[in-house]
Chains A and B, each alone.
Chain A
Amino acid sequence: MDTQNQNPQTNQTPVIQPETQDIPMQPQVNPGLKERVVALLKGANLGKYKLVFIGVGVFFLILIVFGVVLSLLNRQRVVSRPTPTPEGTSFQSTSMEEIKNPSKYATDPAVLKIQADVEALDKDLNAVDLKENFLRPPDIKFDESF
């Protein structure tokens, strides 16, 4: 007996049935927006948005150029200003060192205030450019003749 024929099902290659399990659904995309994006990417509807994109691009370009120019102008106008520093502290300590036999007025606030005022005036008197020769009338000639 042909045993193979007796049980034809036993050697048959198992057939894998396609999975019938449902694949999870992707999030629903707004068909209108999707269509528009696709159309835009394909260039089908580019003309409609072209002007807006070009306009925004040009505007950004102008802003960048404007910003660079402004930054250059600002850089030229920057004036370095010295950081304010307290004047009284060091002034008092150096003055006190000079006096070996201080009176009760050595630490008197009114005296120290006068001393600070005098030091400031002394500094200004020595620093001032009274002549200011750079502002003398310009050397210009009016002697044209032919």
Chain B
Amino acid sequence: MKKVIVLLLLLLLIVFPVKSTLAQDDFTFEKAYADYVHNYDIYVKARSDFELARLNYLGDKTLASKSKAQDAMLTMMQARDEVVITHLTALRKKLTDTSGVSGGDKDQYLSQIDSDVSWFRTHKDGLSNAGSLENLVDESANAKAKFEETTLILMYKSLGTIQIGKIDSFTDRLQKIVSDINSKVSEIRQAGDKSTTRIERWLIDTSARITRSGQKKDEAKKLLATMENDPDSLGDDYNDFQGLVIESNQFLKEAVSYIKEIIKEVKTAD
């Protein structure tokens, strides 16, 4: 009997490390995004089923078809809430993973995301208590109001903040490189073994590109901050915002291209 117990303990020792290895797996953005895509597929199917059940009910107006429409609407609404929850969760993960997003912005949006996720989770859990089709229609109106008043703009602004964060991160790296080059050029000038006139002129052009990038980024941030909570115009405003971010990124690319030329010049003898 003792041998059996020892054997069992040894086997448990084998099993437990496997469990701890599984526990180390983090909830990654890829996992969060896959959850969102999966739930969106479920919603699309549930929406299609609901539309069919709705048309059947509007056609024959029987109690049976009404019951089926109610069941289909409940399933669709639960799937829709889950889509919002998983999308916000993926955005949340992206926000935390993006290094350039400043602490204040990040905390503000994370808090709002948590609040909206909580709202839709509560709403979803309460849907099964709706006793009639009319109740579900009312609950759907509540979800619509919440989505259009806070969630939709939160999604756009969080996404915009992630993009600004990326530009900020690139700009920081670029400015560090320019600072290093300035130090090296100063060293070369003092050594006097190579002309630095052309290099210094090119460095001014490079800084001008970084400045232009910063201006475009500031315009984008301003547009993001003043974006109005109008579901009809949000998409267009966001496209304008994206245009500014792309321009800002383009100026950074040009600055990097200039720096590559500067390095080549430094490495080439007069």
Contacts and interface: CB of A to CB of B under 8 A. Distances in A.
Contacts of B203: none
Q: Is the interface of A mostly helix, strand, loop or mixed?
A: helix
A85 B30 CA distance: 24
A117 B43 contact: no
A145 B73 CA distance: 11
Contacts of A110: 180, 184
A118 B162 contact: no
B204 interface: no
A70 B148 CA distance: 43
B173 interface: yes
A90 interface: no
Nearest to A114: B180
Contacts of B54: 144, 146
Interface string B10-22: 0100010010011
Interface stretch (A3-11, A18-26, A31-39, A130-138): A130-138
Interface in B168-223: 170, 173-174, 176-177, 180-181, 184, 188, 193-194
A102 B268 CA distance: 4
A46 interface: no
Interface stretch (B105-113, B123-131, B255-263): B255-263
Given A70-B18, A142-B147, A114 B177 contact: yes
Given A66-B15, A118-B260, A138-B40, 8 more contacts: A102-B267, A103-B267, A121-B256, A122-B253, A135-B91, A137-B152, A138-B83, A146-B54
27 contacts: A52-B4, A56-B7, A63-B11, A63-B15, A70-B18, A70-B22, A73-B22, A103-B268, A108-B184, A111-B263, A117-B177, A118-B256, A121-B170, A121-B256, A125-B253, A132-B159, A135-B91, A138-B36, A140-B83, A141-B47, A142-B141, A142-B147, A144-B54, A144-B73, A146-B54, A146-B57, A146-B133
Interface of B: 1, 4, 7-8, 11, 15, 18, 21-22, 25, 30, 33, 36, 40, 43, 47, 50, 54, 57-58, 69, 73, 80, 83-84, 87, 90-91, 94, 133, 136-137, 140-141, 143-144, 147-148, 152, 155-156, 159, 162-163, 166-167, 170, 173-174, 176-177, 180-181, 184, 188, 193-194, 238, 242, 245-246, 249, 252-253, 256-257, 259-260, 263-264, 266-270
